[in-house]
Amino acid sequence: MESIPQREPVGPVELPPKYYLDYFLFLVEFVEKLYREILNKEERKLIRDFRALPEDAQCLFVRFSNRRGLFFRTNKLKYAEIEDIPAALYELEEKGFIEELSAKHEAYSEEILNLFTKEEWLKLAPPTELSLKPLKKPDLIRYLVNTYAFDFLITPISEPVIKVGYEVEVMMLKFLFFGNRYADMTEFVVRDLGKVNFERYRDDAYTARFATRQDAEDKLMVSLTAEQLYEMQEAATPPEEIFDWFMNWQASIHQLSEVAQPGYVRLINKIGAYLERQKLLEQALTVYQLTEHIPSRERRVRLLNRMGFVEEAVALCELIAQDPQNADERFFAIDFREKMANSKKRVKKSVTRFLQESQSVQIAISYRYRVEQGVADYFVENGYGAVHAENYPWRGFFGLIFWDAIYDTNVQAIHHPLQRMPSDFHQPDFYRKRAPQIRQRLAELDTSEKFEQALESTFIEKFGIANVLVDWNEVLLELVRLIAKSLTPIQMRAILLEMAVNLRENTRGFPDLMVWGKDGLELIEVKSPTDHLSAQQLHWMHFMADLGVKARVLRVEWKLE
């Protein structure tokens, strides 16, 4: 067997002084190549005019665009690699990339005032009978913004302050490249510092994430709306206002593109849950009714029942029971129907009954805060091998076996070279698009030996390359080998297919421990006296039992030492 590859010790990596400019130029060229047909007039102008700038001016603009905020105090700018910052500022202003602070920027008043310290504003603020010194800076800024006219406030500012232009166009270029709002230019740095090693593809292998301008604008709009929700919550906006804002927004949008739907669904469920926590039950129900995706149906049943609409709740529960979307819905429907049929007595949940009927084991109370390790040590002391593994080896098993299918560029889910997972990874059509490859792969692996060989070869070949399912650690190979040696090919194929049809749900909930001995492998879910069994954990317990894989729950009882 080939040895496990070891990471070579690497000294500190030094990036070139203007590394960020190289990254931005690469991003622009990449986006222009892939999305030329959907770029608008202003985006094309930005690209054209940016390329015409002197290098120092390009660097300064990229520095601005990589920082938070649109306003900067030019006296505070210090970049050693930019030889003449005043000249670069002049070029940027001449070509319309920046503009001086003026009264027309009132919409950004809080951001602008926050450029200065509290002490500076105590000197700049207009005279007042009130003492402003005791106020904290955020309160001082709010007082000034709400008390004085904006142009009056900025008049005493004597030093240059500039606003960066093309903010919308730069945002769109980055969004087209990354496909989301959470990734940023630091991804290039992470790669070049050797922190993450990405899978490599041919230059012509990348496909556009967005087929049309509408696709990109819809997904961006949903992302920005989710950010606005967060900002409103942070600002303690009354929940009634958040409800009105969201309902007005969603009523104004057209039929969203397919690529924007997952984000829209997440936003609906996030707002519904928030309104529930705020005790606005009717409003929460109204929001949940905008989608059928999990967990909205379960939440609607619970709300309807709580509000006294029992018949409606039962009817919706019946629909869930006929076609549950995940384990949570499946067991919820079972439990709720039983509760309705036996309304005069207390009905235990499926997960509670399963847990209470499980075996128990006594563990020293010193393991109270690491209960899984306590049970693992218990098995080791009794002559077994045991490790606290949870989802880790199963996710790695799937990622290694189906590596080529996951990152197959023919599926058109790889859109840029810094992508850690395909864009359809958590979507329902992940399996549908790859079903022939997945089934062909499993047909080839008709013995445990072939499974083990496939795992080893992929582990060695791909070691260290980013895969959302594979956490690179030498122990992973030993654990996936253990699975391959202990389970039959039929069992492994069934587990992998169950994961494949719903990666979002079925890559979690695996038992805590892997325990092995003369009787083979056993999977153990550990529960402390105050812990609960989740629906997804119960799903895997039933699934493993149906397959003939040994799996059980162990309840822990504390033993005084």
Q: 199, 406 in Cβ contact below 8 A?
A: no
Angle of CA points 66, 68, 73, to nearest 5°: 95
- Residue 5 has what pLDDT? 42
> Mean per-residue pLDDT for 411-418?
95
**Length of the chain as a residue count:** 561
Q: What's the mean per-residue pLDDT of the chain?
A: 94
Q: What is the arithmetic mean of pLDDT over 226-232?
A: 97
pLDDT of residue 114: 96
Q: What is the 3-state secondary structure (H, E, C) of 130-149?
A: CCCCCCCHHHHHHHHHHHCC
pLDDT digits (tens, 9 = 90+) for 302-321: 999 999 999 999 999 999 99
Using left for φ > 0, alpha for ψ between -120 and 50, and beta otherwise, residue 308 falls in: left
pLDDT confidence tier of residue 465, bands split at 50, 70 and 90: very high
Exposure class string for 144-162: b at 16+ Cβ within 10 A, else e: beeeeebeebbeebeeebb
Q: Which strand (E) or helix (H) includes residue 385?
A: strand 385-388
pLDDT computed for residue 126 by the predictor: 87
Q: Which residues are CB-neighbours of 144 under 8 A, at least 6 positions away? A: 113, 121, 125, 153
Tally of helices (H runs) and strands (E runs) in the chain: 27, 8
Cβ contacts of residue 156 below 8 Å, gap of 6+? 124
Q: Phi first, then psi: give them for residue 395, nearest 5 degrees.
A: -65, -45
Reported as a single tens digit per residue, the pLDDT across 123-153 is 999 888 678 899 999 999 999 999 999 999 9
Of the pLDDT bands very low, low, confident and very high (cuts 50, 70, 90), residue 342 is confident
What are the residue boundaries of the structural domains of the chain, listed by start? 19-192, 205-275, 292-347, 356-559
In order, the DSSP letters of 305-324 are: HHTT-HHHHHHHHHHHHHS-
pLDDT of residue 554: 95
260 touches 219 (CB < 8 A):
yes
Residue by residue, DSSP assigns 417-478 as: TT-SS-TTTTSTHHHHHHHHHHHHHHHH--SHHHHHHHHHHHHHHHTTB-BTTB---HHHHH
- Taking the alpha carbons of 392, 201, 6, 447 in that order, is the dihedral positive or negative? positive
